């Protein structure tokens, strides 16, 4: 990908948002099906899952609100939609399907919200925004997969709802690196801060 950051800088894109408490964490679709290269996974998703284990531990230590999302379609496919028309295999992600279950390493703890969705954004048609607002979240850290799909859609909606999205770039992954890198660039310029895990830790309030 050509370096076109100067064009964006000249036009005033890419201003920083900063990490302002209260902080929350959203983990998007780190489920078995997206961890499996034979289903919907591949690329750098396994590495992103591994790094998110530490981020989730930090969130729990700090007492941040934590939400997880997973794609779940009705057993009878009655909620089939344009997303599943475009990617028919998504209909295999049912409530009790192992592929739709959150990976064991990131299994939700008591009090953490699990959002079920059947479109890319974790916000569309769910109660995620009011759940975060009720808990006072201002900065929303985002991990998950895939960077170019459900992560990006959730980040755009988080911004639209008035949260300050911070994409933790070590903790997001995609089945293909080109779309991953292009989406990080795009989100950094328009919708979110994009920080490494180390840079995030350096910005956390002491």
Q: 77 in the Ramachandran plot: left (φ > 0), alpha (ψ -120 to 50) or beta?
A: left
Q: Pick the catalytic residue: 145, 150, 160, 171?
A: 150
The fourth-level CATH superfamily of domain 21-203 is Isochorismatase-like (3.40.50.850)
Domain ranges of the chain: 21-203
Spans of the chain, pLDDT less than 70: 1-3
Task: Give CA torsion, residues 91, 96, 97, 103, to 10 deg.
Answer: 120
Three-point CA angle 183, 35, 76, nearest 5°: 100
N- to C-terminal Cα distance for the chain?
Answer: 37
Q: Closest Cα to residue 23, out of 172, 162, 127, 164?
A: 164
Q: Closest Cα to residue 150, out of 72, 53, 61?
A: 72
Residue 205 confidence (pLDDT): 82
Compute the distance between CA of residue 98 and CA of residue 94 in angstroms, rounded to an integer: 8
Instruction: Give yes or no for a cis peptide into 22 (omega within 30° of 0).
Output: yes
Q: Closest Cα to residue 89, out of 12, 194, 19, 175?
A: 175
Q: Tens digit of pLDDT for each residue in 95-143?
A: 999 999 999 999 999 999 999 999 999 999 999 999 999 999 999 999 9
- Does the annotation count 145 as an active-site position? no
H or E stretch including 113?
strand 113-117
Whole-prediction pTM value?
0.96
């Amino acid at each position: 990908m050509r370096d076109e950051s100067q064009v964006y800088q000249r036009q005033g894109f890419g201003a920083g948002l900063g990490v302002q408490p209260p902080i929350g964490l959203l983990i998007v679709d780190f489920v078995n099906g997206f961890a499996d290269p034979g289903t919907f996974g591949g690329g750098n998703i396994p590495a992103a899952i591994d790094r998110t284990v530490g981020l989730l531990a930090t969130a729990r230590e700090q007492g941040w609100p934590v939400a997880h999302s997973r794609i779940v379609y009705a057993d009878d496919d009655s909620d089939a939609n344009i997303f599943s028309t475009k990617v028919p295999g998504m209909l295999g992600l049912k409530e009790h399907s192992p592929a739709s279950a959150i990976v064991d390493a990131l299994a939700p703890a008591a009090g953490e919200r699990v959002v079920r969705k059947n479109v890319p954004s974790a916000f569309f048609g769910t109660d995620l925004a009011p759940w975060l607002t009720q808990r006072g979240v201002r900065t929303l850290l985002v991990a998950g997969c895939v960077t170019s799909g459900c992560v990006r859609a959730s980040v755009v909606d988080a911004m639209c709802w008035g949260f300050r999205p911070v994409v933790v770039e070590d903790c997001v992954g995609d089945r293909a690196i080109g779309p991953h890198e292009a989406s990080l660039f795009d989100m950094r310029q328009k919708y979110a801060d994009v920080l490494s895990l180390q840079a995030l830790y350096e910005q956390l309030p002491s």
